[in-house]
Chains A and B, each alone.
Chain A
Amino acid sequence: MPDSDAANLPEYPRLAPGVRLHFDRTRDAWVLLGPERVIETEGPASEILRRCDGTRTVEQIVGELAAIYNAERAQIAGDVTEMLAELRAKRMLA
């Protein structure tokens, strides 16, 4: 079953083997690339993905995003968790 909450997320999220984030100049956008997968990302999503490097905890990622977007930590936490859970379900997060 797909993970649905923070409890199932890795402690230090990083992109799965074979998955990487790439800045495409032609589209002027960050794209997440994996085997037979191309996912275009928008502002906040790419900021989250760039921090999934295996050195930061989910809490740290949330803190950094909250600082960048000057937003409520709780709201950011919800967004980050949701996105990471979705990536995990797609097997793009390790």
Chain B
Amino acid sequence: MSVAAMPLPLGLLAELTHRCPLACPYCSNPLTLEDRAQELDTGSWARVFQEAAGMGVLQVHLSGGEPAARRDLVQLVAAAHEAGLYTNLITSSIGLDAPRLARLKEAGLDHVQLSLQDVDAASADRIAGYPGGHARKLAFARTIVGQGLALTINAVVHRANIGRVAAFVEVAASLGAGRVEIAHAQYYGWALRNRQALMPTRDQVDQAMQEVEQIRPRYADRLVIDLVVPDYYARRPKACMGGWARRSLNVTPSGRVLPCHAAETIPGLEFWSVREHALSAIWRESPAFQAFRGTAWMLEPCRSCSLREADFGGCRCQALALAGDARAADPACELSPHHGRMLALAEQDSAGADSSYLYRGRMARESIAG
């Protein structure tokens, strides 16, 4: 691919830290979490934000772990804003209070995305592995809206809460959110380890999707409802990340730059760090970004598929996890020879009685009481 044809990235996911008080069993962080001593300092992040804006990135998603665990969060938001980036804070709100939020707003924060684990407090706290968290989140959602900040409620859905998608939307609306994101758990890393406890049945998925579509018109004048459909019961794969190394980059707490947050699950990829390279050089030249950019790496059935520029073969990490080859078609695609097996895995896991979680960052599997 020539430099002229190099796509311009739109978004940067900045994983400021892997530290988090919550322990959600579907966490998108890797199984091996980076510790505080490895984290980039304030000045390094500020440089990353400047470089990102210079190469065309428009939005930065300040995430974690829990970004509020960084004591320099206000400075980081200010640095991102100064670089010209739209700043989105992805948070559980644990570690934030009203004065700190006011300082974040003053520093240029554009938007807050707050996660809710369920609409039922007991269930939400059980999923997050954090007693009392749900009530604090609801209270803080009102603080966010009260300070005039735009709020998105993010709900990751799975077997324990999928029956309450309509209630999630109602809660988001009642809190004054402008947007709600209903996202099915994505089965890499922690979620893959917990698939037996998380996977919903096909009927549950179908019913949840119908419910959302039924209530959508009712909220049209109040709320944007974004629905991320689940892979395991799909017929066609999603254009994961909008195509590998096409639209976004992910910087880990220690400064490693990944094409997607799960990319480290693919063995043999060489990731570069912002400690050693300019972000633009990593985007253009690093082996991990080059590996699956464009379509030249594809095998059949992707290589000759008319949709190869539309879905880019789906997710590389899922292809590796389920088809055994990161270059294979994502098994979410019905043209994949592994599609039937993926569906069978989902059906098997969803029918199981096992509802114990291996909580993120914790050592032992814990059973759910009640």
Listed in ascending order, the chain A residues whose CB lies under 8 Å from chain B are 1-2, 16-20, 22, 24, 26-27, 31, 33-36, 38, 89-91
Docked complex Cα distance between A15 and B54 (Å):
25
Q: Do the beta carbons of A91 and B86 come within 8 Å of each other?
A: no
Say yes or no for B250: interface residue by CB 8 A criterion: no
Check B179 against A35 for contact (C-beta < 8 Å): yes
* Binary contact track B112-142/A, C-beta < 8 Å → 1, others 0: 0100000000000000000000000000000
* Interface flags, B221-241, vs A, CB<8A=1, else 0: 101101000000000000000
Classify the secondary structure of A's interface with B.
loop
CA distance A16 to B59 in the complex (A): 17
Closest approach, in angstroms, between the C-beta of A88 and any C-beta of chain B? 9
A35-B220 CB under 8 A given contacts A17-B150, A26-B8, A91-B178 = no
- CB closest chain-A residue, reference B110: A18
Total A-B contacts with CB atoms under 8 angstroms apart: 59
Given the contacts A1-B217, A17-B150, A35-B152, A24 and B58 also touching, CB distance less than 8 Å: yes
Contact partner, B150, options A2, A18, A31, Cβ 8 Å:
A18
B148 contacts A by Cβ under 8 Å:
yes
CB distance from A38 to the nearest CB of B (A): 6
Chain B residue at minimal CB-CB distance from A94: B178
Chain A residue at smallest Cβ distance from B84: A22
- Among A20, A26, A35, the residue within 8 A (CB) of B56 is A26
Q: Among A19, A33, A89, A91, which residue has its beta carbon within 8 angstroms of that of B58? A: A33
Chain A residue numbers with a CB within 8 Å of B88 are 35
Within 8 A of A (CB), among B137-171: 148-152
Q: Does B220 contact A16, Cβ atoms closer than 8 Å?
A: no
B10: interface (CB < 8 Å) = yes
Q: State in angstroms the CA–CA spacing of A51 and B10 once bound together.
A: 25
Closest-CB distance, A94 to chain B (whole angstroms): 9
